[in-house]
Homo-oligomer: A and B are copies of this chain.
Amino acid sequence: MKMTGGVEWGLHCCVVLSSATEPVAAAKLAELHDVSATYLAKQLQLLSRAGLVRSAPGQSGGYLLTRPATEITVLDVVEAIDGPQPAFRCTEVRQRGPMAVPPDRCDTPCPIAAVMDTADRAWRESLRAVTIGAIAATVAATTPGELLDRARVWLSA
């Protein structure tokens, strides 16, 4: 089981955008993080479709967050890029084979699927509890101020 790598990129981009006052071009975000520009563009488009970021075309265009970073959860970004589907998908094996239980007796959900679903909810709940703003605050608190300043300058250059 592996999450798409785009999630990591998307989260880093949102953290960067949380301290941006002017639109930041996709190419700039890609260069900053040293990742494929064309592929990152795809992920940003997903964020855009999900309504997490706003895009401005044309010269001096780029991306900005649509709302305060403290109102965007990690789960928002994960679901925007990775999709809302749970990792486990029940294929109803109990309804197959020689001992198949008839569909009309399957009123209760498969217990196995129920367990996986509970775990998935716990996972999502955990991701929902943290915002981009909180992550940005941690970054600000743990990296040397000089580095942060340089980054800010580099971004607007």
* Interfacial residues, chain A to chain B (CB-CB below 8 A): 1-5, 7-9, 11-12, 15, 31-35, 74, 82-83, 85, 87-91, 93-94, 96-101, 105, 108, 111-112, 115-116, 118-120, 122-127, 130, 135, 138-139, 142-144, 147, 150-151, 154
Contact = CB atoms under 8 A, between A and B. Distances in A.
Contacts of A112: 8, 11-12, 15, 74, 135
A9 B9 CA distance: 33
Nearest to A94: B12
Contacts of A12: 93-94, 112
- As for how many copies of this chain the complex holds, the number is 2
Nearest to A107: B142
Contacts of A4: 1
A15 B8 CA distance: 36
B7 A88 contact: yes
A91 B125 CA distance: 24
Contact of A111 (B82, B115, B138): B138
